[in-house]
Amino acid sequence: MAAYKRVSESVALITLQNPPVNALSAAVRQGIVDTVERALSDPNVTAVVICGQNGVFCGGADIKEFGSNMSGPPLIPMIHAIESANKPVVAAIEGSALGGGLELALGCHYRIAHSKARLGLPEVSLGLLPAAGGSQRLPRLIGVPAALNLITTGRHVTAAEALQLGIVDQVTDHNTVDAAVKFALSVAGRSLDPRRISTYPCPQQPDLDALFEEVMQKVRRSARGAIAPIACVQAVRAAATLPYTQGMAREQELMATLFTSGQARALQYCFFAQRAVGRWRMPSGARWDTSKPRPVHKAAVIGLGTMGRGITVALAQTGLSVIAVETQEKQLMEAKQAVSGMLERGAKRRGVAPALDRIIYSQNIQAVADVDLVIEAVFEDVALKTKVFKQLSAVCKPGTLLCTNTSALDVDQLASETPNPELVVGMHFFAPAHVMKLLEVVYGPRSSPEAVATAMQLGKKMGKASVAVGNCRGFVGNRMLKPYVEQAFFLLEEGATPELVDRALEEFGFPMGVFTMSDLSGLDVGWRVRKGDGLVEPGGASGRSARVRQGRRYSPLGDLLCEHGRFGQKTCRGWYQYDKPGSRVARSDPWLHSFLEAYRAEHGLVARRIDHQEVLERCLYALINEGFHILDDGIAAGPEDIDVIYVSGYGWPRHRGGPMFYANMVGLAKVLERLEHYHQAHPDVPHLQPCSLLRRLVASGSPPIHRWGEVIKKLHSQL
């Protein structure tokens, strides 16, 4: 809807009303059409101001409408009617002007923004392009290079940058609507011809072809198979080379392809999934809306290794006071230097002062006595972590939340070592912790809803995609990773190379394949875990038992590489070879290929031809199958939680929506059939045995993903 009011006698004030972000639903579009017509036909009105209620101009087209039959007036003629008006129309931009919201503003003759407003054309992140004239008007207004940057990245700009780019005409620190009304009165009666952006020629750009070629190459590289960024470049090219009307036709043509694409569905699902995980719930019935978080002003980090340093930076950048504790003096000094460096670099990038004075460093755990929350990030050793938790319980003031950053240990066990297990949760950050978006908040059977709410709120403040999950081995992300990596090892045994497996996964859209990832994170990490699980036998054992452990198929390949001192990038040798320690350039290693041949010969394995499809099906379906187990066990509340974890922390291509969404797109019956096929071929691999939830979903007619909850009978947990 849109409200209409006359202000200052001759200004028509149109207010978009669709909380919370005034999205351009059918009713809002109808409201705009009606009120603009009314203003233009009223002889007492000399100018028009369009604003949004509750301090938000407009969050763009209503994304919820995209999946349905769209009715109501279309955006393009509506914006055209505004641009062609014979009275000045001024957009008063507060809060956000995004997507269709900014396109609406670009149709206005003038734009006044509040200094705190953000503007952008983020359609690309929804698998679309700015198809209400945005791809044609923005380059005409600010030039091709700047428009390409905004439209292909979807980034939001501040009002100050928008002013600098020429997107807005004025920025105010005061009441935006008042400023816009005053401005509208001052320009009433002036010729509007120079203000209609669609009539502008696109600013001349030397060597246009070379520019588009360069941008297209860059976009293709970073898109990892996403089609919308490429369509965005093509649309801007149309703006730069064609008259406006033809450019608009091209914009529509490109949009028609994107609008119905699976990628757009996946990306729009991700948008809503990211918001849905904030509405967490636990098997006990505790929920986000009934659990009150505690205020956290002061936090502590225990252990300043790589993870502890990143967490310290993330907390300080969020505005908290931080006590950073490291008992080893040398390590403390190194950490102090590293943390300061990270804070300084981050502050420089964001144009703010570094938060150095928010951190107090100490060698003494007693220093954390008055903090509201502690994050323990000491070495991954259960005895050490237990000792730290006992010390913290004795030192901290009553009610302090105790969080562990463990990635593999049992959160319940640590909680049981404290007198107040209800105050214990896992906060599983991902390295580097100040950069990576994902945070798994792990609750145990005795974690209080208040503790979970506090950790979730802190994660949100830190700008993390925070997902509440139950406690189990590997939580959600690493638990699903295990069968994925396992399949990759088996594929090597059967005839694949690391290069082949990685290429298939990278073509699917992962930033790096499983073996490149393993080299980056260090092969010794998994080796240590497997040793702890009693799986490693020196020399890989021999005879029939060599490839069987604990009654199931096992590949000792990773262990054997570690025995050769091949730990990945840090040792210049792993699944690939590297020129220097830490180098990111993975080169094929003939040694590895000979090693694989010798290994197969020793174990009587005959290499066969393996294609990309098999790599994808075996690795991805095994991972997805584990996702179904996780849902069945009640460890994740819904498929959205799993998908947000994989998209935010494990490099799953966003335009494929996350593993559970992908399974839904492929078709659950197909995933089931392929798992059955592979399990028949490899009966000694339990991870390939289809999960009963997957069978139940298929038997229920494969409902759409938002209705899986009806089949996951009840949220129960193994806790």
Is residue 21 close enough to count as binding ligand LT2ZWINM by CB under 6 A? yes
Contact between 619 and 650 (Cβ < 8 Å): no
Is residue 122 close enough to count as binding ligand LT2ZWINM by CB under 6 A? yes
Dist. CA 1–CA 590, nearest whole Å: 67
Is residue 131 close enough to count as binding ligand LT2ZWINM by CB under 6 A? yes
Query: Which amino acid is residue 677, in one-letter code?
Result: H
x/- letters, 272..291, toward ligand LT2ZWINM (CB under 6 A): x--x----------------
Contact between 567 and 468 (Cβ < 8 Å): no
Of residues 49, 97, 132, 296, which one binds ligand LT2ZWINM by CB under 6 A? 132
Between 127 and 449, name the residue whose CB sits nearer to ligand LT2ZWINM. Answer: 127
DSSP 573: B
Residue with tokens 């207010």: 15
493 is catalytic: no
Q: How far is the CB of 81 from ligand LT2ZWINM (least distance, A)?
A: 16
Mark residue 9 as left, alpha or beta (left: phi above 0; alpha: psi -120 to 50; beta: remaining).
left
Q: Which stretch binds ligand LT2ZWINM (CB under 6 A): 123-131, 197-205, 354-362, 684-692?
A: 123-131
Is residue 60 close enough to count as binding ligand LT2ZWINM by CB under 6 A? yes
Is residue 94 close enough to count as binding ligand LT2ZWINM by CB under 6 A? no
Is residue 123 close enough to count as binding ligand LT2ZWINM by CB under 6 A? yes
Please choose, from the candidates 513, 492, 511, 494, the residue with its C-alpha nearest in 3D space to the C-alpha of residue 503. 513
Query: Which amino acid is residue 603, in one-letter code?
Result: H
Is residue 480 close enough to count as binding ligand LT2ZWINM by CB under 6 A? no
Q: Which stretch binds ligand LT2ZWINM (CB under 6 A): 17-25, 340-348, 655-663, 704-712?
A: 17-25
Please choose, from the candidates 138, 121, 140, 118, the residue with its C-alpha nearest in 3D space to the C-alpha of residue 129. 121
Question: Is the sign of the CA dihedral 424, 428, 433, 437 positive or negative?
Answer: negative
Q: How far is the CB of 273 from ligand LT2ZWINM (least distance, A)?
A: 9
Q: Please, which of residues 354-383 interact with ligand LT2ZWINM by CB under 6 A?
A: none
Between 128 and 202, name the residue whose CB sits nearer to ligand LT2ZWINM. Answer: 128
Q: Check 123, 251, 486, 614 and give the catalytic one.
A: 123
Q: Which stretch binds ligand LT2ZWINM (CB under 6 A): 129-137, 170-178, 352-360, 499-507?
A: 129-137
Number of residues lying near ligand LT2ZWINM (CB under 6 A): 28
Is residue 47 close enough to count as binding ligand LT2ZWINM by CB under 6 A? no
Question: Is the sign of the CA dihedral 156, 158, 159, 163 positive or negative?
Answer: negative
Q: Check 37, 65, 94, 103 and give the catalytic one.
A: 103
Residue 429 phi, psi (nearest 5): -85, 165
H or E element that contains 217:
helix 208-223
Between 269 and 599, name the residue whose CB sits nearer to ligand LT2ZWINM. Answer: 269
Mark residue 55 as left, alpha or beta (left: phi above 0; alpha: psi -120 to 50; beta: remaining).
left
Is residue 256 close enough to count as binding ligand LT2ZWINM by CB under 6 A? yes
How far from 508 is each of 106, 344, 505, 676, CA to CA, in Å?
37, 37, 5, 23
Between 71 and 588, name the residue whose CB sits nearer to ligand LT2ZWINM. Answer: 71
Is residue 716 close enough to count as binding ligand LT2ZWINM by CB under 6 A? no
How far from 572 is each of 353, 512, 582, 593, CA to CA, in Å?
38, 18, 7, 16
Say which residues have a Cβ less than 8 Å from residue 216's Cβ, sequence separation at least 6. 230, 233
Is residue 259 close enough to count as binding ligand LT2ZWINM by CB under 6 A? yes
103 is catalytic: yes
Record the tokens describing residue 248, joined without a space: 């608009």
Site residues (vs ligand LT2ZWINM, CB under 6 A)? 20-21, 23, 59-64, 70, 75, 96, 98-100, 122-123, 126, 128, 130-132, 255-256, 259-260, 272, 275
Catalytic residues: 103, 123
